[in-house]
Structure 1
Amino acid sequence: MNRYKLEWKVGYTSDPSILPDKWVNASVPGAVQLDWASAEGWPHFWQDGDVGRYAWMEKVYWVYETTLPRLEELDGKRLFFVSGGVDYRFLVRVGDRTVHGQEGMFRRVELDLTDVAKGGETLEVVVFPIPDSGLGEGRIEASHSVKPAVSYGWDFHPRLVPTGIWRETFLELRSAQHIKELEFDYVVEDDFSVVKLDISVELSCLASGVFEWSLVDSEGEVVDGETVNLDQQSIVDGACEVHDPDLWWPRGYGDQSMYFLAVSLHGENGELLDTKRRRIGFRSCRLVMNEGAWEESPEMPKSRSVAAMTLEVNGKRIFVKGSNWVAPDVFPGVVGEDAYRPLLEKAASCHFNLLRCWGGSAVGKPSFFEQCDRLGLMVWQDFPLACNCYSESPEFLDTLGQEAAAIVKQLKGHPCVVIWCGGNELFNSWSGMTDQSKAIRLLNKKCYELDPDTPFLPTSPIMGVGHGGYLFRDQLGKECFEVFQTARNSAYVEFGIPGPASVEKLRSLIPEDQLFPPRSEGVWRQRHGFGAWECDEGSWLCMDTVERYFGRPESIEELVVWGQLMQAEGLKGLYEEARRQKPYCSMAINWCFNEPWPAAANNSIISWPCEPKPALRAVRQSCRPTLASARVKRFSWKAGDLFEAELWMLHDGPNSVKGDRVEAYLRFGDDESFVLGWYFDALEEGENRVGPVLRFRVPEIEEQTFKLILRVEGRPDWNSEYDFCFLARAN
């Protein structure tokens, strides 16, 4: 096949039947906002933060235009227009003819233009104004579409709604006989000794000739294959059994073994007409009831109180440690492998084994899932619905069904995708949906039809699952440590502690005369430092909380140090507490991992584009497979208080580890004191162990913090440290 890159220009019009008065060069994939801003010489939106200047772009039609190349000698081949996705509703025109219309950004477009196009004609993609339900402003505007709601404004995302050609788009010259679609399904036998693979190929037309397929392992050895002599047929099926398969495992549990499925189509004279190659990873996965969950509903005829939330992969129960992933840019069209790779490698370095792809954002591009396959990062994939009561109109459900089918077909071959979910917070009071909502029933149906062996959840949270909290100290005065230590959830799928960006990042965003002290207006508010979350006017900088523990900061440097320390220590405590609550608790997934544009403060542990906050190191410590841990009831202490810490050994690894001795020390200033020693016995696979309680009277000190240090003899990689606040005055 020959591909032809297209040179595009773009312009806007109030009437799609009238061409734009002005054209500018367009980058594809991308977004019309970026093209127009570039042509006008505007600074990048993330630099000056003036997103309001883009508002008018939501209400007009945008026309992409290119010229078709002159291909006088097609030699029996067919000319196709191919696009991975256009955001959101659009038409495709060749000359004065409309050849395609579509609503939905996730369905691939493949149009045979051979019989309608002549060389030198114009090809146009007309993009409609953004979806608007007409029910109000903000995320509710997205409630009648499958447009990701986050772009309508969120507590970490500006109101800036992308539109345009957002995935790879090109012309392709194909043989008249070519491979139209390659699909496969497999079943891993219960004893994991055999994988049964079924292959189905749809050809472009009734074909004669030869079709070949082969399955190759990671060492290049052919496992099985077949040559089929075609007799005027357009469907070809194949099947094989893989004995003693190399399974794909999540990170920390085994290798990420992959196979390669290669198919080829040959003409009657043996000439190669088309070929495709797909990577396959074999694994089984399911959600099972958490240990002890059935015991919560002994009264008859009461049903279960919680949903099945323990993830089992290849027959092994996995404690999920991970984070919520959001699109790494406001404009997902500009995101590719170069943006995904460093972020995902940092996620892997944190000992994460799963990322929840949050339903407010766009579904990632293929390179995202390829990287997750390689790194052993499982993916919980929400469909792009969030925090709305979605329409039940036939038109919406038709679009949703087609978009969902496209998403599942594109992703189901990736072994990393282990959970499908209807969307984010759809059963909450602000959304008002239930399991009887037609959108939920439709998504469940599509997943069952297309990928029946991958679990489906209607939404998150669901019965027994926790979302929140999102503050170090909540509106009732409870610290995050108390909130979690008194909670009982089958899974913690969102929890967060806010923290500011680095001083360097803040200086790049905020003018020096507004930098310090922070003001609850202007750039600080625009960058989510104040009033970001409707539940707390101080979010996400949380100045009042910082001042409660450390007093009024005297510089921006001091504010950042204390704010980042609280985020790091808070998340450290929450991850470890979730792990202590297993096996009833099965997941610890914080909100959130990354951010789509540079924020002054929020719950992310990485600043845009890929700058770790200190919280990343803290989370890495708390998610190690094995570590000494301390359960401490609160963060702040005064002289004379009896400091208490319950010692634990946490172990999530797939193997047993031998016992050893933990020594606990407290460091006040330069003075380090041995407090307690504890010998623990060997830990079996996935076993935690609770130890003694350390007690120590807090002395008077000059410093504002002190440390608890846990050291394991001969295993420095299991050591842990915790920082606490010393209150020198009455609170």
Structure 2
Amino acid sequence: MKDVTQLTEGWSLRHEDASLPARVPGCVHTDLLAAQVIPDPFIGRNETEIAWVGRQGWSYVTALTHDSTHERTDLVFEGLDTAAEITLAGEVLGTTRNMHRAYRFDITGRTGPLEVRFDSAYEEADRVRALTGERPNVYPEPFQYIRKMACGFGWDWGPTVVTAGMWRPVRLEHWSTARLAEVRPLVTVDGTTGHVELRLRAERTRRGAGRPLTVRAAVNGEGTESAGVVSFTGEEAVLRVEVPEARLWWPRGHGDQPLYELEVTLLDEEEGTLDVWRRRIGFRTVELDRSADAHGSGCTFVVNGVRIFARGVNWIPDDVLPSRITPERYRTRLRQAAEANVDLVRVWGGGIYEDDAFYDVCDELGLMVWQDFLFACAAYPEEQPLRGEVEAEARDNVVRLMAHPSLVVWNGNNENLWGFRDWDWEEPLAGDSWGEGYYLGVLPRIVAELDPTRPYMAGSPWSGSWDHHPNDPRHGTHHSWEVWNRRDYAEYRANVPRFVAEFGWQAPPALATLHRALPGERLAPDSPGMLHHQKAEDGNGKLNRGIARHFPLPEADFDRWHYLAQVVQARAVAAGIEHWRAHWPVCAGTVVWQLNDCWPVSSWAAIDGDGRLKPLHHELRRVYADRLLTLLPGEEGPVLAVDNQSGTPWHAEVTLRRVGADGTVLARAVLDVEAAPRSVARPALPAELVPAPGSADEFLVADADGLRALHFPVRDRDFAYPRARFDVRLEAVTGQDAAVDVVVTARTLVRDLLLQPDRIAPAARADRGLLTLLPGEEARIRVSGCGGLSPDGVERVRAALFSVAPE
């Protein structure tokens, strides 16, 4: 049986004549931080002070000893970041130039000093650029010349922290006769029968060459086992297992997520078990319906024959130092996504192929994964040495990830097909390669060869062919960025794309996050630290214009500016999703940019860099719920949309009220509405319920089954809001000493009431976001992690409460 030894201890990090202890997995930055050689790049403007680290060469050294009776010993690196030379006892084992691959070296019988020497990523990029020539790029960093996490070179939401190191585990594998070099499970389902076709490749020692071997596969789940056996004498074998009455894996909200244990065992008649490979699998079918129709050409996920409106978020690396992302952190962040009623997570192409722990959690939670290949926002050379690296990287990761039922689509790139058409690349390229051959040739060929159970898309956005503009909203996937960059968020309602794969609006992080990241700074939108932690081009200008279109822009009042920026972010994203959901099935999904952050920064994220929820997260929970009640602006007045994405009918009694600014109910009606499963009903509104166009002192409220929708005829800055008045009381939560219920009773109309829990205590969390209350209505907000009741509790809570019309 194969033996494995993890090489986590005894490493040193060396640079010139200096040496310090190192942790593996890890990186140069984490080791320098642990030794207090560099300051935390997330604090203040320290990012600029540690820039030198990414421009140096570094070495990791250990004394390698091993004693094994096996025939063969391999040194295995699961991830080397990035341009490295590996030597053992002074002899070169090999060189690497790809962060996204695993590497294996035969070191049988060899011991001594082991050194992994990393060149600066900048030097490697310069060497490759000299071979391939210049290519255009949206950022002034050379990430397209090296197979490395692109966003580590800086992005419009991320710092420039260029890492090096052994960022994934290192181990020794001792084995004899043969080992399982590759296992590819092709998992399908036909009716009630699950099919697992295993394509296997064995590596043999000299003694094992030509020897008969046996592979046994067992699929366990639901209290039963299905098995198959095959014998072979060569390098490859195919083994099929049928699972009768297989339960289907469903995206969350559509059914359960049964997972089956798949175990593949390599056996030798004399030596018994040689190697074992284990994964969890799930049975489901997935298609991407891109057929033409009267509206253009669609883009609809079809899982187990059911057409799905995808409720998605874009995922970036959760830390710019990705070796720090633990399985527990993945679980926390992905649970937060599920709690926001998300059912699809897009792993964006400027980051990494995430650790298996990420996909394991997605399998369990029913989060569909859209996986980009790692190309983003640049023209990528297709010459060597990059072309061979791209192909090897794609093969490694398709094989590694294909067992996961949550993975539903491979996507060739982020925005590069669009960039070629619209970002003035064509002229400077002058016929040079730029990546098209990867997206339309190499990658689809690899997916078709290795993983034909899943669809492939050439890129996002992509209209399906060069017959249409790459970002044509009528065809395929669409990225909607003109609204954030230049317009009011109401412009999201101007069209109905077939699938909105990116759109979003910025907001600052929570106040406690800012205080931690900018200690001692007197916060202002344009204070030095705030500007450093705002990486988007004219980011603050866009934030301010977004606020000013709806509210008086606060002057010298950071707290109100901070609140309004977060309100506008939540409203903007909600406006897009409400509109596009109401046009299902023409629009078949939205993927918000973005779920998470990799450091504390003003960004489009719903969860900030310290893991605190922005109001946007709570708003996503509302607009991504199975049932959504919406009042949409229409040419002839508001339109009621009763959106039912659940699998059961929704019989809704919708109470409509036309209300004056002072809270007086001016008209009332009740509509009985029936929305079939996965459909949208749009009942006509009684004329007497519709506020007069341009009215500044009346609005429309719709309520059904605890859901509320609002329509105001004018923007907030023009509406006659009364000064908000409300009472606050605190109630203890039985059995939760560190929690309290904040009970707010409105005495006037209170629009977009928000409790910012971190203003009560840095670790506090609230279970609700923006709330609008009519006079006499009561809302209960549970705050946990706040230390419970205290004598000054009401005053502390009031200081954390904000609304559109202040008290």
What is residue 243 of structure 2 aligned with on the other side? 242
CA distance in structure 1 between the partners assigned to 2:661 and 2:14 by the alignment: 64
What is residue 611 of structure 1 aligned with on the other side? 612
CA distance in structure 2 between the partners assigned to 1:633 and 1:100 by the alignment: 65
State whether structure 2 residue 384 is matched by structure 1 residue 385: no
What is residue 739 of structure 2 aligned with on the other side? none
CA distance in structure 2 between the partners assigned to 1:646 and 1:509 by the alignment: 44
C-alpha contact 2:87 2:115 (8 A) present in aligned 1: yes
Query: 1:450 and 1:139, CA in 2 relative to 1: closer, same or farther beyond 3 A?
Result: farther
Counterparts of 1:236-315 in structure 2, within 5 Å, are 236-269=237-270, 271-289=272-290, 293-296=292-295, 306=297, 308-315=298-305
CA distance in structure 2 between the partners assigned to 1:256 and 1:664 by the alignment: 38
Query: 1:672 and 1:238, CA in 2 relative to 1: closer, same or farther beyond 3 A?
Result: farther
CA distance in structure 2 between the partners assigned to 1:448 and 1:667 by the alignment: 58
Query: Which AA in structure 1 matches 2:266?
Result: L
CA distance in structure 2 between the partners assigned to 1:152 and 1:336 by the alignment: 22
Query: Which AA in structure 1 matches 2:481?
Result: G
C-alpha contact 2:311 2:342 (8 A) present in aligned 1: yes
Partner of 2:142, secondary structure, is: helix
CA distance in structure 1 between the partners assigned to 2:82 and 2:672 by the alignment: 58
C-alpha contact 1:217 1:258 (8 A) present in aligned 2: no
Instruction: Return the offset for 1:140.
Output: 5.1
CA distance in structure 1 between the partners assigned to 2:653 and 2:392 by the alignment: 58
State whether structure 2 residue 536 is matched by structure 1 residue 527: no
Query: Which AA in structure 2 matches 1:598?
Result: P
With normalisation by structure 1, the TM-score equals 0.86
Query: 1:416 and 1:229, CA in 2 relative to 1: closer, same or farther beyond 3 A?
Result: closer
What is residue 522 of structure 2 aligned with on the other side? 514
What is residue 504 of structure 2 aligned with on the other side? 496
Instruction: Return the offset for 1:220.
Output: 3.6
Instruction: Return the offset for 1:547.
Output: 7.7
C-alpha contact 2:44 2:529 (8 A) present in aligned 1: no
CA distance in structure 2 between the partners assigned to 1:246 and 1:47 by the alignment: 49
Query: Which AA in structure 1 matches 2:510?
Result: S
CA distance in structure 2 between the partners assigned to 1:244 and 1:396 by the alignment: 46
Instruction: Return the offset for 1:722.
Output: 7.2
What is residue 50 of structure 1 aligned with on the other side? 46
What is residue 60 of structure 2 aligned with on the other side? 64
Deviations 1:255-275 (A, max 9, x none): 112212212234434643332
Counterparts of 1:390-539 in structure 2, within 5 Å, are 390-427=380-417, 428=419, 429-430=422-423, 432=425, 437-440=436-439, 441-463=441-463, 464=475, 465-469=477-481, 475=486, 478-481=487-490, 483-516=491-524, 518-519=525-526, 522-528=528-534, 532-534=535-537, 536=538, 538-539=540-541
Aligned length: 678
CA distance in structure 1 between the partners assigned to 2:545 and 2:516 by the alignment: 20
Query: Which AA in structure 2 matches 1:648?
Result: A
CA distance in structure 1 between the partners assigned to 2:353 and 2:6 by the alignment: 26
What is residue 217 of structure 1 aligned with on the other side? 220
Instruction: Return the offset for 1:598.
Output: 0.4
Query: 1:430 and 1:3, CA in 2 relative to 1: closer, same or farther beyond 3 A?
Result: same
Partner of 1:514, secondary structure, is: coil
State whether structure 2 residue 185 is matched by structure 1 residue 184: yes
CA distance in structure 1 between the partners assigned to 2:625 and 2:142 by the alignment: 42
Partner of 2:160, secondary structure, is: coil
Deviations 1:131-164 (A, max 9, x none): 4355489455122232232122211001112221
C-alpha contact 1:426 1:432 (8 A) present in aligned 2: no
Partner of 1:339, secondary structure, is: helix
Instruction: Return 424-433 or 334-343, whichever deviates more.
Output: 424-433
With normalisation by structure 2, the TM-score equals 0.78
Instruction: Return 41-50 or 135-144, whichever deviates more.
Output: 135-144
Deviations 1:182-234 (A, max 9, x none): 22223433x464535334242434365763523333224112333x566x554
CA distance in structure 2 between the partners assigned to 1:168 and 1:457 by the alignment: 31
Query: 1:204 and 1:666, CA in 2 relative to 1: closer, same or farther beyond 3 A?
Result: farther
C-alpha contact 1:468 1:494 (8 A) present in aligned 2: yes
Deviations 1:236-290 (A, max 9, x none): 4311223332121111111112212212234434643332212111222111136
1:646 is matched with which residue: 639, 643, 667? 639
CA distance in structure 1 between the partners assigned to 2:616 and 2:77 by the alignment: 39
Query: 1:565 and 1:229, CA in 2 relative to 1: closer, same or farther beyond 3 A?
Result: closer
1:24 is matched with which residue: 14, 20, 26? 20
CA distance in structure 2 between the partners assigned to 1:509 and 1:329 by the alignment: 15
C-alpha contact 1:470 1:496 (8 A) present in aligned 2: no
What is residue 16 of structure 1 aligned with on the other side? none
Query: 1:358 and 1:405, CA in 2 relative to 1: closer, same or farther beyond 3 A?
Result: same
C-alpha contact 2:550 2:717 (8 A) present in aligned 1: no
CA distance in structure 2 between the partners assigned to 1:614 and 1:722 by the alignment: 20
Instruction: Return the offset for 1:512.
Output: 4.5
Query: Which AA in structure 2 matches 1:685?
Result: P
2:113 is matched with which residue: 122, 142, 152? 122
CA distance in structure 1 between the partners assigned to 2:447 and 2:143 by the alignment: 23
C-alpha contact 1:95 1:123 (8 A) present in aligned 2: yes
CA distance in structure 2 between the partners assigned to 1:164 and 1:616 by the alignment: 34
Deviations 1:39-58 (A, max 9, x none): 24433211234112222222
CA distance in structure 1 between the partners assigned to 2:665 and 2:165 by the alignment: 62
Counterparts of 1:515-664 in structure 2, within 5 Å, are 515-516=523-524, 518-519=525-526, 522-528=528-534, 532-534=535-537, 536=538, 538-539=540-541, 541-542=543-544, 545-546=547-548, 549-599=551-601, 601-632=602-633, 644-657=637-650, 659-664=651-656
Instruction: Return the offset for 1:662.
Output: 0.5
State whether structure 2 residue 707 is matched by structure 1 residue 695: no
CA distance in structure 2 between the partners assigned to 1:220 and 1:95 by the alignment: 52
Query: 1:665 and 1:337, CA in 2 relative to 1: closer, same or farther beyond 3 A?
Result: farther
Instruction: Return the offset for 1:670.
Output: 6.4
State whether structure 2 residue 72 is matched by structure 1 residue 82: no
CA distance in structure 1 between the partners assigned to 2:380 and 2:446 by the alignment: 17
CA distance in structure 2 between the partners assigned to 1:479 and 1:409 by the alignment: 44
Query: Which AA in structure 1 matches 2:50?
Result: Y
Instruction: Return the offset for 1:351.
Output: 1.3
What's the C-alpha RMSD, in Å, of the aligned pairs?
2.9
Deviations 1:498-544 (A, max 9, x none): 1122222222223545313x32x62111101xxx333x353564367
C-alpha contact 1:648 1:688 (8 A) present in aligned 2: yes
2:329 is matched with which residue: 331, 339, 342? 339
Query: Which AA in structure 1 matches 2:195?
Result: V
Query: 1:269 and 1:195, CA in 2 relative to 1: closer, same or farther beyond 3 A?
Result: closer
Structure 2 regions of 5+ residues with no counterpart?
427-432, 464-474, 721-807
Deviations 1:385-425 (A, max 9, x none): 10111102132111111111111111111111111111110
C-alpha contact 2:198 2:240 (8 A) present in aligned 1: yes
2:31 is matched with which residue: 19, 30, 35? 35
Structure 1 regions of 5+ residues with no counterpart?
14-19, 297-304, 635-642
CA distance in structure 1 between the partners assigned to 2:149 and 2:613 by the alignment: 26
